Chain A
Amino acid sequence: MSSTPIVTDAALVAAVADGDAGALRELYERHGAWLHARLIRRCNDPEVVVEVVQDTFVALWKDARRFRHDGEVGAWLWGIAFRRMVSRLRSRRDVVLIPEWDVSPTLQQVMPSAEDQVLLGVEYGDLAAGLRRLSPEFRSVVQAVVLDGLTTKEAGRLLGVRENTVKTRLHRAKAQLRATLTEPQEGWR
């Protein structure tokens, strides 16, 4: 599986903008699955996930011209998909979930294997521990803004707090993480 694609995602989006349905299918093959997976983690209704992914690709079909060719297609699609999901908050309050950050003991035994730690960027210190130490309010803000890429305004709507509150919490959370990462850690040196 070391195949570098002959056609890049961006070239496919350009083809979709010219009305190429085959290119849309190819983009769906490449991005449909992980979008499903990522949305399922945030939603308690599989039907909504299916509809949101459908909306996203129909929007891609209609608005492919609007893609600015300076970012990743995957990130762009995620932006469309997650915003559509959040906007469903208006009609159905139970749909969007914030991932559960509090770890159950059984899972904790399984999880941080040496291999998985690579994901967390070992060379930057124990980011995972830093994230786990954040209070729930701070973590939900980091999740919405840093990981899911919402604006502070959108995050405020999702979390039900004011935009300024989001900004303050994000600022403090970053400061707290920075402090965790710079403090000397046992076993890492």
Chain B
Amino acid sequence: MTTGTEEWHADPALLSRYLAGNLDAVTGASVEQHVSRCETCRATVGRLLEPQLLERTWAGIRDGVERPTPPYPMRVARRLGLPEPTAVLLASAASLRAAWLVGAFLSLSFATLAAYASDGTALAPFLLAAPLAPVLGVAAAYGPRQDPLEALVATAPYGRTRLILLRTIGVLVSVLPVTVLLGLAVPGPPWLAAAWLGPALALVPVLLALAAFVGPRIAATIVSLAWSGVVLGSTRALAPTWPVEAAQQGVYLGLAVAACAVIAIRAGTDRQPGVAL
């Protein structure tokens, strides 16, 4: 500004008219330009404006400043439109943390490498690891040992079945894409890349159904041993792709349906929160 206008200040009456919107655009614009550069007139505007409005805005600023940035999985869940409490519960699952995901990815990568190195004759490592990655992820997603919110979850009026299913979906969404990509890299018949999804998706409800009786840790052990038995047993006499062929897929489907029925009955008969699963 030029020296001539530096000592000039808008009088409170003019500023009041400006705040009330009673100035024409040219005068209003020039008041505005002056106020935005003049400390004295800015202070006058501060005295003329409603204090409640200014305090209300400040309260929001303070909240925004003091609120810590939520962890990454929670921000993703929020962006997908989940309400905040659900996002918190989902994100606290152990198997959605980076360490778990990296571990799952590494073991699957080694299995893929093994299949690749043996030129497709040793599919067992991949068929063993790929369906178990989501199963163990789901098992690790809840339970007293793994869940930092366990005490809260057990006492909250929030359906445990709902929580576990929600986390199961979260785990599947984060684990399956990588596994599918690795499956494409495995040598062998092209349908193999999709075929392992059959046991993978069937074993998850089986795990959940078993966990309702014996807890997630023992259930995960039982399912892992059973699947290992199927895969390793078939390597003796049968074709490497035997565990995922059509007849066997039918068995997995039957198991999954039975397991879903068990879960539904348990959730239906036992409405007490924290007991259903």
Measured CB to CB, the residues of A under 8 A from B are 1-2, 5, 21, 24-25, 28-34, 36-38, 40-41, 46, 50-51, 53-55, 57-58, 61, 72, 74-75, 78, 99-101, 103-104, 107-108, 111-112, 115-116, 118-121, 123, 128, 131-132, 139, 143, 147
B36 touches A38 (CB 8 A): yes
A24 x B65 contact (CB < 8 A): yes
Q: Which residue from B10, B31, B58 sits with its C-beta under 8 Å from A32?
A: B58
State which of A38, A112, A121 has its C-beta within 8 Å of the C-beta of B5: A121
A21 touches B27 (CB 8 A): no
> Do the beta carbons of A118 and B32 come within 8 Å of each other?
no
> Which A residues are CB-close (under 8 A) to B36?
34, 38, 74-75, 78
> Which of B30, B41, B49, B60 contacts A54 (CB under 8 A)?
B60
Q: Kindly state whether residue B182 has any CB partner on chain A within 8 Å.
A: no
- Complex interface: chain B residues within 8 A of A51 (CB): 60
Roughly how many angstroms separate A100 CA and B22 CA in the complex, as a whole number? 11
Is A147 a contact partner of B53 (Cβ separation < 8 A)?
Answer: no
A-B contact pairs, 27 of them (CB 8 A): A5-B39, A29-B46, A32-B57, A32-B58, A34-B36, A34-B42, A37-B19, A37-B49, A38-B35, A40-B21, A50-B53, A50-B60, A54-B57, A54-B61, A55-B64, A58-B64, A61-B61, A74-B42, A104-B24, A107-B23, A116-B27, A119-B5, A119-B8, A120-B27, A123-B4, A132-B26, A147-B33
Contact of A108 among B2, B24, B37, B46 (CB under 8 A): B24
For A62, give the chain B residue with the smallest CB separation: B65
Per the bound structure, the CA–CA distance linking A104 and B24 in Å amounts to 8
Closest chain A CB from B181 CB (angstroms): 34
Contact B25 A34 (CB under 8 A): no
**Other-chain residue from A33, A46, A119 in contact with B27 (beta carbon distance below 8 A):** A119
Does B163 make an interface contact (CB < 8 A)? no
B46 and A112 contacting across the interface, CB-CB below 8 Å: no
User: Do B24 and A103 touch across chains, with their CB atoms under 8 A apart?
Assistant: yes
Question: Nearest 8 A-B pairs (CB), nearest first?
Answer: A33-B46, A58-B64, A54-B60, A119-B30, A103-B24, A101-B25, A99-B25, A57-B61
A143-B26 Cα distance, complex, nearest whole Å? 10
A147 and B42 contact, CB distance less than 8 A: no
Which residues 3-60 in B have Cβ within 8 Å of A in the complex? 4-5, 8, 10-11, 14, 18-19, 21-37, 39-46, 48-49, 53-54, 56-58, 60
Contact B27 A111 (CB under 8 A): yes
In angstroms, Cα B5 to Cα A104, docked, is 28
Are A50's CB and B57's CB within 8 A? yes
Give the docked Cα–Cα distance between A73 and B30 (Å): 19
* Complex alpha-carbon distance, A2 and B43, angstroms: 11
CB-defined contacts of B14 to chain A, threshold 8 Å? 115-116
Q: B39, A30: Cβ atoms under 8 Å?
A: yes
Docked complex Cα distance between A78 and B33 (Å): 11
B29 & A143 in contact (Cβ 8 Å cutoff): yes
**Contacts known (A50-B53, A123-B4); A111 close to B46, Cβ less than 8 A:** no
Beta-carbon contact of A74 and B26 below 8 Å: no
**Given A36-B53, A74-B37, A78-B36, A111 and B60 touching (CB < 8 A)?**
no
- Distance from B47 Cβ to chain A, minimum over Cβ atoms (Å): 8
Chain A residues contacting B65 (CB-CB under 8 Å) are 21, 24, 57-58, 61
> What is the bound-complex CA distance between A131 and B36, given in angstroms?
20
* Residues in A neighbouring B43, C-beta threshold 8 A: 1, 30
Known interface pairs A54-B60, A55-B64, A131-B29; 17 further A-B residue pairs with C-beta atoms within 8 A, sorted by A's residue number = A25-B58, A28-B61, A29-B46, A33-B45, A37-B35, A57-B61, A101-B26, A103-B25, A112-B27, A116-B14, A118-B4, A119-B33, A121-B2, A128-B30, A131-B26, A132-B26, A143-B25
